Amino acid sequence: MTKEDFLKAVPEALEATDVPELPVTRGKVRDVYDLGDRLLLVATDRLSAFDRVLGRVPYRGQILNRLSAWWFAATRDLIENHLIAVPDPNLSLVEKARPLPVEVVVRGYITGTTKTSLWKLYQAGERRPYGVPLPEGLRKNDPLPEPILTPTTKATGPGGRDERLTREEILARGLVPQALWERIEAAALALFRRGQALAERAGFLLVDTKYEFGLVGDRLILIDELHTPDSSRYWSRASYRRGEPEHFDKEYLRLWYAERGFTGEGTPPPLPPELAAELAWRYARVFEGLTGEPFRPAPGPQRARVERAIREVAGG
Ligand SMILES: Nc1ncnc2c1ncn2[C@@H]1O[C@H](COP(=O)(O)OP(=O)(O)OP(=O)(O)O)[C@@H](O)[C@H]1O
Ligand SMILES: [Mg+2]
């Protein structure tokens, strides 16, 4: 699909689903239907940035949902995950878990533009921002000597902000028991190394990412989404070290807004259709590079198709 094709699809982007007979909760970007011991996650085309929903990106939902499923399959040997089936390109049927209250962020490079980014903290002189020592002399976008964990709390409710955590705080506050946290650390680093290796083969650098883990009984599983350009930063390999890297993730949007004077304070200007199409096109590049398949949108009007699929899964 060309950028022009994505632009034409903007008006039909999937805002939300409505299946009133089923219990639903809405996250910023996903509608979550509760089926008892399973959840049906609907990846919509809503785009969140600056802690709010900014607009819609055509086919964002199906590209990211399918890519996440691809990554779950490509990492199943490292850790169990929640995915049971993908009954529609926008849907994931998953095991319902008790989410652990920590967002497990892993970083391979020192970068970012916001006040709380690792690069800005380092520039401001911090050398142990998450309790992890960083060497002197790093420049923006340098690889870290080893990938590091920079966990945060999982903010709940509108306007909730993720708060930085160290390993010691996670244990002292009893957010996760020690033996479990050690398994999570090992799993996160193994996932990230696999992610970097597979991304490189596809012409990308996996810069950083966020994992969520949950418990089903006492089984630890990986939940939420995996290595999508929404939960991760991707740079093109070819552009690395030729100035600012080419962004294939939400950083592209943040920079676009920053160039127009918006850096997160107050109300952002609306998402222009051209920018929505550009982002979709970039997400499709990551999908195609990794899966080796051309991206073709699922046929039919999205909302009717997805709602039909939701009813089928819930009824069956
Ligand atoms: N297997 C699972 N079991 C339980 N909860 C899950 C599972 N997988 C994902 N979730 C949760 O479902 C929600 C997905 O919704 P979404 O990503 O739209 O929300 P968000 O914007 O990240 O956060 P919020 O829900 O606070 O708005 C997340 O809160 C995520 O933690
Ligand atoms: Mg989320």
pLDDT tens, 54-85?
Answer: 999 999 999 999 999 999 999 999 999 999 99
In this prediction, residues 99-107 reach a mean pLDDT of 98
Task: Flag whether pLDDT at 161 surpasses 90.
Answer: no
pLDDT for residue 265 is more than 90 = no
The single-letter DSSP state of residue 293 is: S
Residue 157 is predicted with a pLDDT of 62
Mean pLDDT of the residues in the chain: 96
49 Cβ closer than 6 Å to some ligand 1 atom: no
Tell me the average pLDDT across 33-59. Answer: 96
pLDDT of residue 316 exceeding 80, the answer is no
Could you tell me the end-to-end alpha-carbon distance of the chain, in angstroms, rounded to an integer?
A: 34
CB atoms within 10 A of CB 261: 7
Distance from the CA of 260 to the center of ligand 1, in angstroms? 31
pLDDT on residue 160: 67
Ligand 2 centroid, distance to 255 Cα (angstroms): 21
CA of 49 to the centre of ligand 2 (A): 11
- Give yes or no for residue 159 having a pLDDT over 80: no
Cα separation, 136 vs 116, in Å, equals 19
| Residue 142 pLDDT | 97
Q: Give the ligand with the smallest distance to the CA of 92.
A: 1
Q: What is the CA(138)–ligand 2 centre distance, in A?
A: 30
What pLDDT, on the 0 to 100 scale, is given for residue 303?
98
223 lines ligand 1 (CB under 6 A): yes
Question: How many other C-beta atoms lie within 10 A of the C-beta of residue 223?
Answer: 23
pTM for the structure as a whole: 0.96
Q: How far apart are CA 94 and CA 66, in angstroms?
A: 14
pLDDT of residue 155: 76
CB of 53 sitting under 6 A from ligand 1: no
Whether 32 lines ligand 1, by a CB cut-off of 6 Å, is: yes
Q: What is the pLDDT of residue 116?
A: 86
Residue 174 β-bridge partners: none
d(CA 150, CA 134): 12
Contact assessment for residue 223 and residue 213, using Cβ atoms and an 8 Å cutoff: yes
Q: What pLDDT shows up at residue 74?
A: 98
